[in-house]
Protein backbone atom coordinates (compact mmCIF):
# COMPACT_ATOMS: atom_id res chain seq x y z
CA UNK A 1 0.00 0.00 0.00
CA UNK A 2 1.31 3.40 -0.92
CA UNK A 3 1.04 6.40 1.30
CA UNK A 4 1.02 9.86 -0.17
CA UNK A 5 1.92 12.67 2.18
CA UNK A 6 0.44 16.08 1.54
CA UNK A 7 2.24 19.07 2.93
CA UNK A 8 0.38 22.33 3.37
CA UNK A 9 1.99 25.36 1.84
CA UNK A 10 3.81 27.11 4.70
CA UNK A 11 2.34 30.41 5.84
CA UNK A 12 4.43 33.44 6.76
CA UNK A 13 3.86 32.78 10.47
CA UNK A 14 4.81 29.12 10.02
CA UNK A 15 8.00 30.14 8.26
CA UNK A 16 8.88 32.46 11.14
CA UNK A 17 8.18 29.76 13.73
CA UNK A 18 10.38 27.33 11.81
CA UNK A 19 13.09 29.96 11.51
CA UNK A 20 13.07 30.75 15.22
CA UNK A 21 13.19 27.10 16.30
CA UNK A 22 15.96 26.40 13.79
CA UNK A 23 18.00 29.41 14.92
CA UNK A 24 17.65 28.34 18.55
CA UNK A 25 18.51 24.68 17.89
CA UNK A 26 21.46 25.39 15.59
CA UNK A 27 22.69 28.25 17.75
CA UNK A 28 22.60 26.24 20.95
CA UNK A 29 24.36 23.25 19.37
CA UNK A 30 27.15 25.53 18.11
CA UNK A 31 27.35 27.31 21.45
CA UNK A 32 27.35 24.11 23.50
CA UNK A 33 30.21 22.47 21.63
CA UNK A 34 32.33 25.58 21.08
CA UNK A 35 32.43 26.52 24.76
CA UNK A 36 33.44 22.94 25.57
CA UNK A 37 36.13 22.73 22.91
CA UNK A 38 39.43 21.84 24.60
CA UNK A 39 41.44 22.78 21.50
CA UNK A 40 39.77 26.19 21.26
CA UNK A 41 40.34 26.88 24.94
CA UNK A 42 43.96 25.77 24.55
CA UNK A 43 44.47 28.28 21.74
CA UNK A 44 43.03 31.02 23.96
CA UNK A 45 45.34 29.96 26.79
CA UNK A 46 48.40 30.13 24.55
CA UNK A 47 47.46 33.64 23.51
CA UNK A 48 46.36 35.08 26.86
CA UNK A 49 48.02 32.93 29.53
CA UNK A 50 46.64 30.82 32.36
CA UNK A 51 45.28 33.65 34.50
CA UNK A 52 43.76 35.94 31.88
CA UNK A 53 42.09 32.99 30.15
CA UNK A 54 39.87 32.65 33.23
CA UNK A 55 38.36 36.00 32.28
CA UNK A 56 38.58 36.05 28.48
CA UNK A 57 37.22 32.55 28.04
CA UNK A 58 34.00 33.48 29.86
CA UNK A 59 33.80 36.72 27.90
CA UNK A 60 34.11 34.61 24.75
CA UNK A 61 31.17 32.45 25.90
CA UNK A 62 28.98 35.49 26.36
CA UNK A 63 29.92 37.29 23.15
CA UNK A 64 29.42 34.04 21.25
CA UNK A 65 25.91 33.93 22.71
CA UNK A 66 25.33 37.54 21.63
CA UNK A 67 26.20 36.58 18.06
CA UNK A 68 24.30 33.29 17.88
CA UNK A 69 21.23 34.31 19.87
CA UNK A 70 21.08 38.00 19.03
CA UNK A 71 22.86 39.03 15.85
CA UNK A 72 21.59 36.15 13.71
CA UNK A 73 17.85 36.54 14.52
CA UNK A 74 18.13 40.32 14.23
CA UNK A 75 19.74 39.90 10.80
CA UNK A 76 16.92 37.56 9.74
CA UNK A 77 14.28 40.05 10.85
CA UNK A 78 15.98 42.95 9.07
CA UNK A 79 16.53 40.91 5.90
CA UNK A 80 12.82 40.08 5.76
CA UNK A 81 11.78 43.66 6.45
CA UNK A 82 9.85 42.77 9.60
CA UNK A 83 8.95 45.09 12.47
CA UNK A 84 10.86 44.49 15.72
CA UNK A 85 7.77 45.50 17.71
CA UNK A 86 6.21 42.32 16.42
CA UNK A 87 8.72 40.36 18.51
CA UNK A 88 8.49 42.21 21.80
CA UNK A 89 11.01 45.00 21.26
CA UNK A 90 8.66 47.79 22.20
CA UNK A 91 9.80 51.05 23.76
CA UNK A 92 6.61 51.26 25.78
CA UNK A 93 6.92 50.20 29.41
CA UNK A 94 3.67 50.76 31.29
CA UNK A 95 3.12 50.54 35.02
CA UNK A 96 2.38 46.78 34.95
CA UNK A 97 5.83 46.22 33.42
CA UNK A 98 7.50 48.33 36.09
CA UNK A 99 5.57 46.74 38.97
CA UNK A 100 6.19 43.18 37.79
CA UNK A 101 9.88 43.91 37.21
CA UNK A 102 10.30 45.47 40.66
CA UNK A 103 8.33 42.77 42.44
CA UNK A 104 10.04 39.83 40.78
CA UNK A 105 13.46 41.45 41.22
CA UNK A 106 12.91 41.71 44.98
CA UNK A 107 11.87 38.05 45.13
CA UNK A 108 14.92 37.03 43.08
CA UNK A 109 17.29 39.04 45.29
CA UNK A 110 15.94 37.47 48.49
CA UNK A 111 16.06 33.95 47.02
CA UNK A 112 19.58 34.41 45.65
CA UNK A 113 20.84 35.80 48.94
CA UNK A 114 20.17 32.42 50.54
CA UNK A 115 20.44 30.03 47.57
CA UNK A 116 23.80 31.23 46.26
CA UNK A 117 25.67 30.14 49.39
CA UNK A 118 25.01 26.45 48.63
CA UNK A 119 28.03 24.33 47.61
CA UNK A 120 26.28 23.28 44.39
CA UNK A 121 25.93 26.89 43.32
CA UNK A 122 29.45 27.87 44.31
CA UNK A 123 30.97 25.10 42.18
CA UNK A 124 29.52 26.89 39.11
CA UNK A 125 29.41 30.55 40.09
CA UNK A 126 30.96 32.99 39.72
CA UNK A 127 31.80 31.72 36.25
CA UNK A 128 35.03 33.72 36.22
CA UNK A 129 37.20 31.79 38.67
CA UNK A 130 39.72 34.41 39.74
CA UNK A 131 40.63 35.10 43.36
CA UNK A 132 40.58 38.90 43.21
CA UNK A 133 37.93 40.88 41.40
CA UNK A 134 38.92 44.39 40.34
CA UNK A 135 36.23 47.00 39.85
CA UNK A 136 36.96 46.86 36.12
CA UNK A 137 36.33 43.12 36.14
CA UNK A 138 33.06 43.50 38.06
CA UNK A 139 31.87 46.07 35.51
CA UNK A 140 33.17 44.08 32.52
CA UNK A 141 31.51 40.90 33.69
CA UNK A 142 28.23 42.73 34.35
CA UNK A 143 28.34 44.26 30.87
CA UNK A 144 28.99 40.96 29.10
CA UNK A 145 26.30 39.23 31.18
CA UNK A 146 23.79 41.95 30.27
CA UNK A 147 24.66 41.82 26.56
CA UNK A 148 24.36 38.04 26.56
CA UNK A 149 21.01 38.07 28.35
CA UNK A 150 19.57 40.71 26.02
CA UNK A 151 20.35 38.46 23.05
CA UNK A 152 19.16 35.37 24.95
CA UNK A 153 15.83 36.88 25.97
CA UNK A 154 15.24 38.38 22.54
CA UNK A 155 15.61 34.93 21.01
CA UNK A 156 13.53 33.05 23.61
CA UNK A 157 10.87 35.52 24.72
CA UNK A 158 11.01 37.60 21.55
CA UNK A 159 11.63 35.93 18.21
CA UNK A 160 10.75 32.37 19.28
CA UNK A 161 7.74 33.13 21.48
CA UNK A 162 5.94 35.65 19.29
CA UNK A 163 6.54 33.76 16.04
CA UNK A 164 5.21 30.54 17.61
CA UNK A 165 2.15 32.31 19.06
CA UNK A 166 1.17 33.47 15.58
CA UNK A 167 1.27 29.90 14.28
CA UNK A 168 0.43 27.70 17.28
CA UNK A 169 -1.60 29.79 19.68
CA UNK A 170 -0.65 31.08 23.11
CA UNK A 171 -0.44 27.98 25.29
CA UNK A 172 1.19 25.70 22.73
CA UNK A 173 3.76 28.42 22.06
CA UNK A 174 4.43 28.78 25.80
CA UNK A 175 4.80 24.99 26.12
CA UNK A 176 7.27 24.83 23.23
CA UNK A 177 9.21 27.80 24.56
CA UNK A 178 9.38 26.45 28.10
CA UNK A 179 10.40 22.96 26.95
CA UNK A 180 13.29 24.36 24.92
CA UNK A 181 14.20 26.74 27.75
CA UNK A 182 14.40 23.85 30.21
CA UNK A 183 16.43 21.72 27.80
CA UNK A 184 19.16 24.32 27.37
CA UNK A 185 19.49 24.41 31.18
CA UNK A 186 20.11 20.65 31.46
CA UNK A 187 23.93 21.00 31.27
CA UNK A 188 23.75 23.25 34.36
CA UNK A 189 22.17 20.51 36.44
CA UNK A 190 18.77 19.14 37.34
CA UNK A 191 17.88 21.99 39.72
CA UNK A 192 18.29 24.67 37.07
CA UNK A 193 16.53 22.54 34.45
CA UNK A 194 13.51 21.96 36.69
CA UNK A 195 13.51 25.55 37.92
CA UNK A 196 13.47 26.76 34.32
CA UNK A 197 9.98 25.29 33.82
CA UNK A 198 7.90 27.51 36.16
CA UNK A 199 10.16 30.49 35.46
CA UNK A 200 9.83 29.95 31.72
CA UNK A 201 6.03 29.77 31.88
CA UNK A 202 5.84 32.91 34.03
CA UNK A 203 8.19 34.94 31.84
CA UNK A 204 6.39 33.87 28.66
CA UNK A 205 3.01 34.78 30.14
CA UNK A 206 4.23 38.19 31.34
CA UNK A 207 5.86 38.86 27.98
CA UNK A 208 2.62 38.17 26.15
CA UNK A 209 0.58 40.18 28.66
CA UNK A 210 2.77 43.27 28.29
CA UNK A 211 3.82 42.78 24.66
CA UNK A 212 7.51 43.31 25.48
CA UNK A 213 10.53 41.27 26.53
CA UNK A 214 11.67 43.84 29.10
CA UNK A 215 10.33 42.12 32.22
CA UNK A 216 12.01 38.84 31.25
CA UNK A 217 15.24 40.60 30.33
CA UNK A 218 15.51 42.81 33.42
CA UNK A 219 14.54 40.06 35.87
CA UNK A 220 17.05 37.73 34.22
CA UNK A 221 19.76 40.40 34.56
CA UNK A 222 18.95 40.86 38.26
CA UNK A 223 19.05 37.09 38.70
CA UNK A 224 22.41 36.66 36.95
CA UNK A 225 24.19 39.64 38.48
CA UNK A 226 22.95 39.06 42.03
CA UNK A 227 23.97 35.42 41.70
CA UNK A 228 27.43 36.48 40.58
CA UNK A 229 27.90 39.14 43.24
CA UNK A 230 26.58 37.01 46.10
CA UNK A 231 28.76 34.12 44.90
CA UNK A 232 31.81 36.38 44.88
CA UNK A 233 31.00 37.33 48.46
CA UNK A 234 30.37 33.79 49.69
CA UNK A 235 33.53 32.37 48.08
CA UNK A 236 35.67 35.09 49.62
CA UNK A 237 36.65 36.55 46.24
CA UNK A 238 36.65 40.18 47.28
CA UNK A 239 36.46 43.05 44.81
CA UNK A 240 39.68 45.05 44.95
CA UNK A 241 41.28 48.00 43.15
SS percent in the chain: helix, strand, coil, step 5: 75, 0, 20
pLDDT means per 10 residues, the chain with 241 residues, are: 45 80 98 97 94 96 98 96 93 84 97 94 93 94 99 98 95 98 94 95 96 96 97 77 52
Contact 131, 177 (CB under 8 A): no
At residue 3, the pLDDT reads 42
At residue 2, the pLDDT reads 46
Rounded to 10 degrees, the C-alpha dihedral 153/181/122/119 comes to 150
Measured distance CA(85)–CA(91) in Å, rounded: 8
Measured distance CA(196)–CA(192) in Å, rounded: 6
Nearest to 148, CA basis, from 44, 208, 220:
220
Q: What is the DSSP letter of 10?
A: P
Contact 125, 227 (CB under 8 A): yes
Q: What is the DSSP letter of 83?
A: -
Measured distance CA(24)–CA(55) in Å, rounded: 26
Count of beta carbons in the 10 Å neighbourhood of residue 118: 11
At residue 1, the pLDDT reads 41
Domain boundaries, the chain: 12-240
- Does the model's pTM come out above 0.85? yes
Amino acid sequence: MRYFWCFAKPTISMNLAIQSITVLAAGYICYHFLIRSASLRSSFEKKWGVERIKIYWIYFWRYLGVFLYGVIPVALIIFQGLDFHRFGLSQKAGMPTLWWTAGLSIVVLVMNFFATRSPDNLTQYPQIRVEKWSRALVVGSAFTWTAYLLAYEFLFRGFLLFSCVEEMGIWTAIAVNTALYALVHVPKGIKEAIGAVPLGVLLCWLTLQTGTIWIAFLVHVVMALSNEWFSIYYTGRRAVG
